[in-house]
Amino acid sequence: MKNSEKVIIVTSVAAVIALILDAVMFVQHGQNLASPMVWPRLVLFIVLAVVVSGLALLKMRFCGYATILVNLYYAIAGFAAFQMVSPRMSAYGLFIQALSIVGILVGAAGVYYGAKQRADYTKAKIEKMKEQLKK
């Protein structure tokens, strides 16, 4: 499996987890999911995942950085849910904490694949420059 495919899969999973956790946190804090204050943030998770996936397919120069930042954002969203869930020791709280840990780990994997994405881009450029120097 290519790294760009891994980036797309990991980013999509991280986005879904962050989306679920954020929606649960809104409900926990008394916000209605139909509220106009909720949707811009939830849509942001989707838009960021689409942008990262598109950049991964295009293999642009800064796509690795975008992947790292977006997946770091998703991991931080998971950590925030882990910290804010209440009641912590209920079945609900334990489920949210477990999902948060999975979200943090998936976000960390996304950061790793983003760094690998950047390294692959740099290696390809170096190889291209070597070929040009040989000519």
3-28 helix and 91-134 helix, angle to the nearest 10 degrees: 150
Of the chain, the percentage scoring pLDDT greater than 70 comes to 100
* CB atoms near residue 75 (< 10 Å): 23
Nearest to 112 by CA among 3, 2, 1: 3
107-126 pLDDT, tens digit each? 999 999 999 999 988 898 89
Residue pair 71/114 in contact (Cβ under 8 Å)? The answer is: yes
Question: How does residue 86 score in pLDDT terms, banded at 50, 70 and 90?
Answer: confident
pTM of the model: 0.89
Rg (Cα) of the chain, in Å, rounded? 18
pLDDT at residue 61 in the model: 78
pLDDT at residue 62 in the model: 85
Question: How does residue 135 score in pLDDT terms, banded at 50, 70 and 90?
Answer: confident
Question: How does residue 71 score in pLDDT terms, banded at 50, 70 and 90?
Answer: very high
What is the maximal distance between C-alpha atoms in the chain? 68
